[in-house]
Amino acid sequence: MDFEFYYYIIFLASGFLAGFVDSIAGGGGIITVPVLLAAGIPPHIALATNKLGSSFGSFTASMNFIRKGLVTFKEVYIGVIFTFIGAVIGTKTILLLQADILNKIIPVMLVIIFFYTLLNPKFGHLDKSSRLKKPLFFFIFGLLIGFYDGFFGPGTGTFWTIALVTLMGLNLKKATATTKIMNFTSNFVSLCVFIIGGHVLFFIGILMGMGQIIGAYVGSSMVVKKEVTFIRTFFLFIVGITILKLIYDSWLS
């Protein structure tokens, strides 16, 4: 597909903004996917191309979090394995089915998460005891959220963060770092399936990926430096925007 030059500037800029937002609170897809669709790219190709760009961003954020000591691969490798499996199944499924039902269910789930976080001011400030054993937690949520990210996607980072804080007892900084590793896993797996199916626009995806690398590095560095209150506020803001976007797409458009 050919585009006017200014579209490529928009693709790059939206990639930067998405990488920044996604590394702190998730939800970068609410920026990039609408941009791709607005450019006239068909939905399946837009989702596939977005996975390429977001893989760059989530990988950059993951490596930055690991390098700065917020998380280690040894702590999360079980989650990576089951997220990998779930994402393969989910992406294969979306190529066969439509996601209309999830379009209507997910906003409701995100509203619950939003108010749960809003009404718990100390949410994610301190580490707490885990309610599930780590292998069991990653088995269940790796498969479930990995499948969801491969099948649909919006809110994936939010679901991971909430699960890690409430069930694994992680503070919000560590949960955000762990979330990005899980996000990269499901993004990359989905991307590989989409590439095999021939759905990816490589030049646009790489252009967005360049923006996402810069944005993800800046955003993940802020997570390391800022207090949990800042991350919580940003998290609530992005979840709120995601809810409004999904409600509009699912119920009002």
Q: What 3 state SS string does 110-129 have? A: HHHHHHHHHCCCCCCCCCCC
**CB neighbour list of residue 88: distance below 8 Å, 6 or more residues apart:** 150, 189, 193
Quick one: pLDDT at residue 250?
Answer: 66
Q: Is the four-CA dihedral 170, 171, 176, 180 of positive or negative sign?
A: negative
Quick: pLDDT tens for 202-211. Answer: 999 999 999 9
The CA distance from 115 to 11, in Å, is 33
Quick one: pLDDT at residue 55?
Answer: 94
Quick: pLDDT tens for 56-100. Answer: 999 999 999 999 999 999 999 999 999 999 999 988 887 776 656
Q: What is the Cα Rg of the chain in Å?
A: 17
Q: Where are the domains of the chain?
A: 5-252
Quick: pLDDT tens for 115-141. Answer: 877 887 776 676 788 889 999 999 999
